[in-house]
Structure 1
Amino acid sequence: MSTGSFQHRVWQWVVACFPPSAHLNVQERNHRFLEEALELAQASSCTKQEAHDLVEYVFGRAKGDVHQEVGGVMVTLAALCNAAQIEMDEAAECELDRNWSHIDRIRAKQATKPQGSALPQ
């Protein structure tokens, strides 16, 4: 990961915001990613039933390759942003800036959530 890249700057925020146990916790990061993806789908008018149908479809198939699936996420996110007329890089930068300004609130939420739970609270 190159210094100065968006990914590296997110890493710096994660290290500043969360305890060491959360930095490289793939399960925790996976749950938070899924939560955000669902919130994006909901904000883009995906119904609860459509989300449930897609969960059944995806989990009815063989597991994919993580590296390839990351690429798929990035490509489909860019395509969604194009369709919704959202500048993906600008939205990402705005959210990272917002996260830096809410570290205390995020830490407090993290401290009260159940450990190992997929649910954020």
Structure 2
Amino acid sequence: MFRDFQNEVKEWTLEAFGEAITADKVERNYRFLEESLELVQALGCTKDEAHQLVEYVFGRDAGEPVQEVGGTMLTLAALCNANAIGMTPAAELELNRVWGKIEQIRARQAAKPKHSPLPQ
């Protein structure tokens, strides 16, 4: 599932944003952080708790990316389990939803400030 889904997401990002934004590592970091914060906010995490975790994480040495991806996937699955959310159906539902909104997403992307973590 994951390899196919990852490839499907790449197809979508190429269609929605083109090669440059699809491959922009800084932009991808910003959007991943934004979405992960939105998820934990939706599940009850407070701004203060998030700030505490930012200080904790950035007070340590950076990890190894492949291991951190593995840890992220494991932790996301555990979070979904604890909240009775089907991770795979949620991912597929969202991908199907955004395929239908490419023009709106392109317009939002064009209006974003360049090289900023903030989407507006």
TM-score normalised over the length of structure 1: 0.96
Partner residue, 2:105: 106
Partner residue, 1:48: 47
Q: Which amino acid aligns with 1:42?
A: Q
Higher RCO (C-alpha 8 Å, min separation 6)? 2
**Alignment deviations for residues 13-61 of structure 1 (CA, whole Å, 9 cap, x no partner):** 0000003220100100010000000000100000000000000000000
Aligned-residue RMSD, C-alpha? 1.2
Percent identity for Structure 1 against Structure 2: 57
Tell me how far 1:80 sits from its aligned partner: 0.3
| Number of positions where the alignment pairs a residue of Structure 1 with one of Structure 2 | 119
Task: Describe the SS at the equivalent of 2:119.
Answer: coil
2:14 counterpart of 1:18:
no
Counterparts of 1:73 and 1:105, CA distance in 2 = 29
Matches within 5 A, 1:77-88: 77-88=76-87
Matches within 5 A, 1:89-104: 89-104=88-103
Any stretches of 5+ residues in structure 1 without a counterpart? none
TM-score normalised over the length of structure 2: 0.96
Q: Which amino acid aligns with 2:83?
A: A
